[in-house]
């Protein structure tokens, strides 16, 4: 014979979840901007980073580089073909898979007339992957923070 069991349902007020998630999202985006700024800490000519909400509710944000050096940042982040020769003592400021910046040394080799010396065969530079490193740097904190916001609202009763 089937038993009838009555289960008491909790009422949860979820009306504030989108706003709370948007605030948490913005907090993590600002943390990501700090990591992006750390990736260009030693640069004399660095891009600036901004956060822009993608939707009216603020649940998605875009972090973008702006300024005249944003294209240079994109090249270094993703790797590029170098067409000019570097000085023999050249040491890059950044290394792949790291946001840390070193002092670096040297630059583009120039001819006696002051023009860059071109390479016969372009050389592929290794991508620094700053974006991946920033994502890895905030991933755990991001998911912990977002799930905490949801748990906080689910504990509330109407």
The domain locations on the chain are 17-155
Predicted confidence at residue 30, as pLDDT, reads 93
From 23, 50, 11, select the one nearest 146 (Cα to Cα): 23
pTM of the model: 0.78
* CB neighbours of residue 69 within 10 Å: 16
Q: What is the pLDDT of residues 85-104, one digit of tens each?
A: 999 999 988 889 999 888 88
Nearest-angstrom CA–CA distance, 129 and 43: 16
Structure tokens at 114: 């002051």
More confident residue, 68 or 16: 68
Predicted confidence (pLDDT) per residue in 123-151, tens digit: 999 999 999 999 999 999 999 999 998 88
The pLDDT, as a whole number, for residue 15 is 77
- Phi, psi dihedral angles at 66 (to 5 degrees): -135, 165
Which letter, b or e, does each residue of 39-61 get, where b requires 16 or more Cβ atoms within 10 Å of its Cβ? bbeebeebbebeeeeeeeebeeb
pLDDT of residue 12: 67
Q: How far from 61 is each of 27, 36, 96, 99, CA to CA, in Å? A: 11, 15, 26, 22
pLDDT at 105: 87
Strand partners, 48: 66
CB burial class (10 A; 0-12, 13-18, 19+) of residue 68?
exposed
pLDDT of residue 1: 64
């Amino acid at each position: 014979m089937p038993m009838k069991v009555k289960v008491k349902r909790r009422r949860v007020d979820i009306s504030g979840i989108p706003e709370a998630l948007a605030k948490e999202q913005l907090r993590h985006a600002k943390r990501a901007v700090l990591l992006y700024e750390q990736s260009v800490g030693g640069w004399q000519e660095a891009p600036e980073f901004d956060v822009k909400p993608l939707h009216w509710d603020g649940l998605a944000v875009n972090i973008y580089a702006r300024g005249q050096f944003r294209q240079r940042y994109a090249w270094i982040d993703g790797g590029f073909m170098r067409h000019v020769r570097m000085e023999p003592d050249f040491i890059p400021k950044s290394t792949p898979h790291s946001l840390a910046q070193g002092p670096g040394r040297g630059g583009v080799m120039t001819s006696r007339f002051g023009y860059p010396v071109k390479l016969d065969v372009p050389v592929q530079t290794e991508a620094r992957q700053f974006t991946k490193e920033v994502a890895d740097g905030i991933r755990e904190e991001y998911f912990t923070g977002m799930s905490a916001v949801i748990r906080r609202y689910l504990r509330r009763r109407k």
